[in-house]
A and B are shown apart, each in its own frame.
Chain A
Amino acid sequence: MDNKYKKLILKGGFVCDPFQKINQISDIVIIDGKITEISNLFKDDTKISNDFKIIDVKGMIVMPGLVDLHTHLRDPGYEWKEDIYSGSLAAAKGGFTTICAMPNTSPVPDSAPVVRDFFNKSKNSIIRTLPFGSITKGRLGKSLSPMYELQEAGVVGFSDDGDTLMDSNIMRQALLYSIDTGLPIINHAEDIVIKNNGVMNSGLVADRLGLKGTLPSSEYLMVKRDIDLAFETGGIIHIPHISTEQTVSYIFQAKDAGLKFSSEVTPHHLTMTEEWVYGESGIDPEFLSEKSYDTNAKVNPPLRSHNDVSALIQGINEGIIDTIATDHAPHSLSDKECSFDEAAPGINNIETAFSQLYELVKDKKISLEKLVSALSVNPSRILNKEPFGSLHLNKPAELTIFDPNTSWVVNEKNLLSKSSNTPLKGKLLNGKIVLTIFKGRIVYDEL
């Protein structure tokens, strides 16, 4: 199917739109790319005029195009891992219609020309691709990037990505700037001094594998510092990829005390534990096999314990954590085919994210509405623009459809990303995104 259908009906799907608080089985009429009706009118197909294309989506979930606040597109500088185009294909396959590119590229987007190049290249993107600028020049943590210049060039926020801004004074200045730009500051939430070159979660698994552990305090201390600085300055802060129980409970306290900030958690931290490093789908084996030391399960912050996973799920359920962001991090084989210590951190997950997360809905740990909110309305609000990915009437359709009744095996052949560094490689996933529409155009289609 392509875009030749001027008139389209998505029939019988369960529509979940947190923007408009729709949660029911409905038919969606799309004419010339715009949604003209969401209703239950078409019980009888014969009453629909012949020029409509009808797609039966019974048993499937129709939701707004998903919004990702944390994507690595590796473009410019590392295009063998991913580029803006391949990243956009992967995102559309994952149900995303808006992605925000992290600035760990070469060159770093710390001046307007680099951002303009990004927008030029983004013309190839099949979805909405937005850039973050770097907080500091060259992401070196020494002096601020020209934030106004970057804002005028179109960045949607600032981050030094995986390099923590350790200098509290510069962080404070960045937060003061954010009051004027109105754009969020996203600082990698790991104190690198206490992290002390840790490569996985500190605990029994690390000690058994003889790998250096990263303590929960490395995250907690940095999150606490940043929230305190944001409170003191009144700056705008977004906390990336929360991974520990301690951080969830600190965020709860801070929000309870009326502090204003937002935060995110990744699909892998919500669904996987440190045991995945054993290489046996999260099972704690009686003895280590050659599957152990799975470098595809190496990520910053690291996969944590079962308790942490439960706390993060609770954080989403109770609205303590606002959003789910992928931290999609494509890496080539050679970045991962090495010792665990040397392996590049990061998981390629934008295509598998919704299938992974839907398991939590099936297990009744998270409601569908909460899940979709954390992937659409909430991140859209943090970007502070018009709603991205909504099902509003008379607007170009921007939606995605998930079929929970199908399954697929993850492998390098069916991933659209240029890389396939996921611990889910070879694993069966339940449920699949089957259709994505961006600005009225079908950008991913398996129906």
Chain B
Amino acid sequence: MNLIDDKEESRRGRKVNHLLDVDSLSLNSVNTIINSSKKAKSILLSKNKTLSLKGKTIVSIFFENSTRTRVSFEQAGKILGADVINVNVPSSSISKGESILNTVKTIQSIGMDSLIVRHNHSGVPYFIARNVNVPVINAGDGMHAHPTQSLLDIFTIKTEIGDIKNKKILIIGDVKHSRVARSNINLLVRLGAKITVAAPTTLLPDSWIGINKKDFKIISHYKKMESNLSDTDLIMLLRVQKERQDQGSLPNLEEYSKLWGLTKYRYDTLSPNTFIMHPGPVNEGVEVASELLNHKNSLIDKQVENGVAVRMAVLEFCIS
């Protein structure tokens, strides 16, 4: 079955069905993936397996450390009956100076049906996609994109909160360096969410500073963020990387936590139906108070659980 609609295929003008970012997915395709994620989730809950990708070899190559995304993809592939090979990069030839291209071409010659890539440099999955003839799935590239995280966030919102159109979503944190924020903003805006981004100016992308984006609102002072909290359906938190401190973007994590963290006090002033999401891993007590992690409105565990279902849908979408 061809899951890509005609318009999209003619726009893309290509035969290989990569997932490099959500921007190249039409809303039809997003719907297709969300719907198959629902089916995948029921398979997952029933503890059964399917054979839809039996005989297929999926290679996942992570040039950057990851536990949840890598395990999530591996589990998704296995439930679909595929053989999943994890290439452990730090111990492989890359550390001996072999280029990304050589490694990927070697793996291609050995044989694979799809390649899952994570790299700490933006654009690497695009570069690999230019050089291989199997679908490349971006599992996170530098500061650029994290399409499966975005799709699982959309799926989680749809199943736990409801329709995304006109939902008021507040994204708090380091949008400048966040691939999760980039993908999510793209897709959520297209799905009709009302987005507000809150971050200190040092953690805003250069081109956003001092301007108001037409698609969403930007807040760069914590007091204004506080006054916007009450009018929010969902708060999406972003991880603060400790290295931002060394780069001078943050004086220290304590100050960040004080000004931008979702504290118990702040949360208690909100409407009782305000949901909390975080792509993980969480810096407890920095982005969000520890006691809120297990709050009934926290969807953080659901996000991880849904991750497997959505990645099953993505693998089927790209490979079959």
A interface list, Cβ under 8 A from B: 202-204, 206-213, 215, 286-293, 295, 334, 337-342
Are B119 and A339 closer than 8 Å at their CB atoms?
yes
Are B121 and A339 closer than 8 Å at their CB atoms?
yes
Q: Kindly list chain B residues whose C-beta atoms are within 8 Å of the C-beta of A338.
A: 99-101, 127
Are B122 and A286 closer than 8 Å at their CB atoms?
no
Instruction: Quote the shortest CB–CB distance from A108 to chain B (angstroms).
Output: 25
Are B101 and A337 closer than 8 Å at their CB atoms?
yes
Q: Kindly list chain B residues whose C-beta atoms are within 8 Å of the C-beta of A289.
A: 12, 14, 24, 126
Are A211 and B122 closer than 8 Å at their CB atoms?
yes
Are B100 and A210 closer than 8 Å at their CB atoms?
no
Whole-angstrom distance between the alpha carbons of A146 and B208 in the complex?
48
Q: Kindly list chain A residues whose C-beta atoms are within 8 Å of the C-beta of B99.
A: 334, 337-338
Selected contact of B206 from candidates A215, A293, A339, A342, CB within 8 Å: A215
Selected contact of B20 from candidates A203, A204, A212, A290, CB within 8 Å: A290
Question: Does chain A have a CB within 8 A of B281?
Answer: no
Instruction: Quote the shortest CB–CB distance from A37 to chain B (angstroms).
Output: 55
Closest 10 CB pairs of A and B: A210-B144, A293-B123, A210-B143, A339-B121, A207-B205, A210-B122, A287-B23, A290-B129, A287-B24, A341-B121
Q: Kindly list chain A residues whose C-beta atoms are within 8 Å of the C-beta of B20.
A: 288, 290
Residue of A nearest to B176 (CB): A207
Are B207 and A202 closer than 8 Å at their CB atoms?
yes
Whole-angstrom distance between the alpha carbons of A203 and B207 in the complex?
5
Are B121 and A292 closer than 8 Å at their CB atoms?
no
Whole-angstrom distance between the alpha carbons of A340 and B24 in the complex?
20
Question: Does chain A have a CB within 8 A of B311?
Answer: no
Chain B 115-151, CB within 8 Å of chain A: the 1/0 string? Answer: 0000101111011011100000000011111000000
Whole-angstrom distance between the alpha carbons of A166 and B293 in the complex?
49
Question: Does chain A have a CB within 8 A of B11?
Answer: yes
Whole-angstrom distance between the alpha carbons of A83 and B76 in the complex?
52
Question: Does chain A have a CB within 8 A of B182?
Answer: yes
Known: A293-B126, A339-B121, A340-B123. A206 touches B23 (CB 8 A): no
- Known contacts A209-B122, A287-B11; 8 additional CB pairs below 8 A are A206-B206, A210-B143, A211-B123, A215-B206, A293-B122, A337-B127, A338-B100, A341-B142
Residue of B nearest to A337 (CB): B101
Are A287 and B101 closer than 8 Å at their CB atoms?
no
Selected contact of A287 from candidates B14, B21, B100, B144, CB within 8 Å: B21
Residue of B nearest to A339 (CB): B121
Q: Kindly list chain B residues whose C-beta atoms are within 8 Å of the C-beta of A288.
A: 20-21, 23-24, 126
Within 8 A of A (CB), among B130-189: 130-131, 141-145, 179, 182
Question: Does chain A have a CB within 8 A of B18?
Answer: yes
Q: Kindly list chain A residues whose C-beta atoms are within 8 Å of the C-beta of B206.
A: 202-203, 206-207, 213, 215
Instruction: Quote the shortest CB–CB distance from A332 to chain B (angstroms).
Output: 12
Whole-angstrom distance between the alpha carbons of A289 and B129 in the complex?
9
Are A339 and B123 closer than 8 Å at their CB atoms?
yes
Selected contact of A209 from candidates B12, B119, B123, B129, CB within 8 Å: B123
Q: Kindly list chain A residues whose C-beta atoms are within 8 Å of the C-beta of B141.
A: 210
Whole-angstrom distance between the alpha carbons of A239 and B101 in the complex?
38
Instruction: Quote the shortest CB–CB distance from B190 to chain A (angstroms).
Output: 11
Are B23 and A204 closer than 8 Å at their CB atoms?
no
Instruction: Quote the shortest CB–CB distance from B201 to chain A (angstroms).
Output: 14
> Could you jot down 22 A-B contacts, CB within 8 Å?
A202-B206, A204-B207, A207-B207, A207-B208, A209-B144, A210-B122, A210-B123, A210-B143, A210-B145, A211-B144, A287-B21, A289-B24, A290-B18, A292-B123, A292-B126, A293-B127, A337-B99, A337-B131, A338-B100, A338-B101, A339-B124, A340-B127
Residue of A nearest to B175 (CB): A207
Known: A203-B206, A203-B207, A210-B122. A339 touches B182 (CB 8 A): no
Are B121 and A340 closer than 8 Å at their CB atoms?
yes
Within 8 A of A (CB), among B16-52: 18, 20-21, 23-24
Q: Kindly list chain B residues whose C-beta atoms are within 8 Å of the C-beta of A295.
A: 127
Whole-angstrom distance between the alpha carbons of A311 and B37 in the complex?
51
Residue of A nearest to B8 (CB): A287
Whole-angstrom distance between the alpha carbons of A56 and B131 in the complex?
46
Are B24 and A210 closer than 8 Å at their CB atoms?
no
Residue of A nearest to B21 (CB): A288
Whole-angstrom distance between the alpha carbons of A211 and B120 in the complex?
11
Selected contact of A290 from candidates B122, B130, B182, CB within 8 Å: B130
Known: A286-B11, A293-B123, A293-B126. A339 touches B21 (CB 8 A): no
Q: Kindly list chain B residues whose C-beta atoms are within 8 Å of the C-beta of A291.
A: 126, 130
Instruction: Quote the shortest CB–CB distance from B264 to chain A (angstroms).
Output: 33
Whole-angstrom distance between the alpha carbons of A293 and B20 in the complex?
12
Q: Kindly list chain A residues whose C-beta atoms are within 8 Å of the C-beta of B127.
A: 293, 295, 337-340
Q: Kindly list chain B residues whose C-beta atoms are within 8 Å of the C-beta of A286.
A: 11, 23
Q: Kindly list chain A residues whose C-beta atoms are within 8 Å of the C-beta of B129.
A: 290
Q: Kindly list chain B residues whose C-beta atoms are within 8 Å of the C-beta of A203.
A: 206-207
Instruction: Quote the shortest CB–CB distance from A297 to chain B (angstroms).
Output: 12
Residue of A nearest to B123 (CB): A293
Whole-angstrom distance between the alpha carbons of A295 and B99 in the complex?
15
Q: Kindly list chain B residues whose C-beta atoms are within 8 Å of the C-beta of A212.
A: 143
Whole-angstrom distance between the alpha carbons of A290 and B128 in the complex?
8
Whole-angstrom distance between the alpha carbons of A215 and B124 in the complex?
23
Whole-angstrom distance between the alpha carbons of A127 and B256 in the complex?
61
Q: Kindly list chain A residues whose C-beta atoms are within 8 Å of the C-beta of B131.
A: 337
Instruction: Quote the shortest CB–CB distance from A286 to chain B (angstroms).
Output: 7
